[in-house]
Amino acid sequence: MLSFNVFTILAAAVACVAAFPAGTPTVGNSLGTRTFLTGTTHTIVVGRANSLIFDPENVVAEIGDTIEWHFQAKNHSLAQSDFAHPCQPLADGTGFFAGFNFVTEEGQNPNVYQITIIDNKPIWYYCPQTNGNHCQKGMLGAINQDFSSENVLSKQKVIAAGTGVSIVPPVIQGGRVGGFQRANPNPLSGF
């Protein structure tokens, strides 16, 4: 019985040392370099003043930034495409789609849709509302388009105009829905 107790005490002492090792002086900095994210939120108005536009339709964002869409009147949405195939979701089934849960008759829907920028690649997206052919009429947007390439939004709109009917993605995915944190200071002119 006595030996068991001694063993138990020793075990506890070893565990204690392991949990609280003796302090060692800090020499240099062994932490890896890291990027401190800016955390900027870029706000985009969807369907500003009953128009078929994302405002602004072009956004330049840093990695770690948030893109936040606010939905004004009518029933709009947004879905990710690639440059060459506007008005249809990414072929591999990935990409974001906000769904059609933001319909509002006036003002703006109390919910917003957000994504986080995780790399510097251009992001292309469109409104998949087929009632009125929003995408074909130019309701597209770009994030971090490369203006040194030929693949720019103005050119994509030309492609979009000839796509016929938009494809609505089958699954809502890829972003976050939440109530907006700040009021729109001017609903008619963006944020």
Binding site for Cu ion (CB under 5 A): 76, 127, 129, 134, 139
Which of 48/134 has CB closer to Cu ion? Answer: 134
Which of 130/173 has CB closer to Cu ion? Answer: 130
Q: Please report how close the Cβ of residue 161 comes to Cu ion at its closest, in angstroms.
A: 15
- Burial (CB count within 10 angstroms: exposed 0-12, middle 13-18, buried 19+), residue 136: buried
Q: Please report how close the Cβ of residue 52 comes to Cu ion at its closest, in angstroms.
A: 6
- Yes or no: say if 46 and 56 are a contact pair by the CB < 8 Å rule: no
DSSP structural state of residue 101: -
First-to-last alpha carbon distance for the chain, in angstroms, is 75
3 state SS of 24 = coil
* C-alpha R_g of the chain: 25
Q: Please report how close the Cβ of residue 41 comes to Cu ion at its closest, in angstroms.
A: 22
Which of 129/144 has CB closer to Cu ion? Answer: 129
User: In the bound complex, which residue of the shown chain has the CB atom lying closest to Cu ion?
Assistant: 127
Task: Give the dihedral sign, CA 171/89/53/114.
Answer: positive
Which of 48/76 has CB closer to Cu ion? Answer: 76
Q: Please report how close the Cβ of residue 90 comes to Cu ion at its closest, in angstroms.
A: 19
Q: Please report how close the Cβ of residue 188 comes to Cu ion at its closest, in angstroms.
A: 17
Residues 6+ apart with CB under 8 A from 72: 45, 46, 47, 48, 49, 50, 104, 107, 108, 109, 187
Question: Which of 92, 111, 91 is closest to 101 using CA atoms?
Answer: 111
Which of 64/174 has CB closer to Cu ion? Answer: 174
User: What does the angle CA 177 – CA 181 – CA 183 come to, to the nearest 5 degrees?
Assistant: 115
Q: Please report how close the Cβ of residue 33 comes to Cu ion at its closest, in angstroms.
A: 42
CA–CA separation, 135 vs 61, rounded Å?
23
Which of 95/128 has CB closer to Cu ion? Answer: 128
